[in-house]
Structure 1
């Protein structure tokens, strides 16, 4: 079985590695996004999928657009049985969709959360369940008929990175089952009336204030783990949080103990354990309030 693979981040990389490990599958080529500058020093860094492809000796291409001349023809000459897509970052043009069945492994239970950030959106909304859907791609955004899916619960303490890894493993399993049983699968059309969409995450999405409910801030903390993180208007990053009982004026310190600082929100409260002031190193919240000479009933700023 010949497969062309398209994907970019760690989620896609997990699926690619599983395909490469299957003896009856040959990954004929890989397509991923161009290298990008990363970190303060803007070091040009390849996507995880490229690193894996090159280590396996598989041809890897990084076009800015799949509509570039020659790409569809090159893929067609490889005679793929399937084109497998996972978090690639580009829509596939009609010329490629017509070459072979294009199967997308989308990290939500479609038609919920079509778009760029389904895992983050599930956490933002405080969902208690999510999953992975294998769908047959068409020209619309994540709108094609569904082939298979798998479901997993979301715990209150689950955060983005752990959920990404769990869903990636589920997606890898689902990929193999789908391509091996494809001929016997009866697809199920999505109900467009039930569709919801999620956007690409931007840094400004991490801005929070204590005028928000504690649960809303906590869900953003879980969803934006790593990047963009969550931060206050003065640039202070909130690196470690826990939901707490408590009521009071939004932003006021309600309690202080060895584990952190309890701060009131619009509703509920949060225990802040670790912070990072702008342009400084991370520190525990107790050290931060001591440096600011803050105490109970003061505003946490």
Structure 2
């Protein structure tokens, strides 16, 4: 732990999550009765920004919403959590992004309609350059146009900032983006797509090496209940999970990435940063909703009193 305040810029998506709870998912062509429906502020970018702010980071958000009630709700949610929203633009040519989320059996299925997120453009990164200059880490995902993600990574490196890329939703990436990325954080399925490897336990390090060979600084693969794996120039290691009672996994990856970005901004060593991120994610999945489920710094630090074991 350090006394340095994290300073993070999140460039990415803002969605309204329409969350439906059901005992089981329907088969194709089938209708089932749901138990509840919730309208919850979300989007990978916004989720990560809220998580970072709740962890005590000075957090800048760059993105795009529609000029509709959902857009206003998303901005208010960010502000309530302490996120700086000056660089979030409102557009009239597209509705606010929406994610349809089905929760069943402790897991989720998600369909995202990007809407206004498709209008987060490279010029918005340029407009927010002063904001980016004031942070240590730039956190990116793939729910906005890829050209904007590339522009953000280029700008971050020009300004001497660390780039953390959460490659979700999974898609093929240009070589330049790998070379601009300090830390890439795929889950298992994203790693399979990016590496071209079908991953068994013995293939994990080999698949991660494919990404490292593309020029990223290091690879951190999230493995759900199996924890996380790290591959860097210093070698391969595993970090164990923190066992919890799972309620909603929707924001787990976003919580992890925000925790990692904050920890790196605070200059924690990589393994410690991944452990911290895992604690953030563990707490997040014990609550319903992505943004509402994000823990505070005090709650995460309380987990340091629990016993755990790393597999090196």
User: Is the TM-score greater than 0.5?
Assistant: no
User: Whose relative contact order is higher, 1 or 2, with alpha carbons under 8 Å and at least 6 apart?
Assistant: 2
Structure 1 or 2: larger helix share? Answer: 2
- Structure label with greater radius of gyration: 1
TM-score by length of 1: 0.32
TM-score (norm 2): 0.31
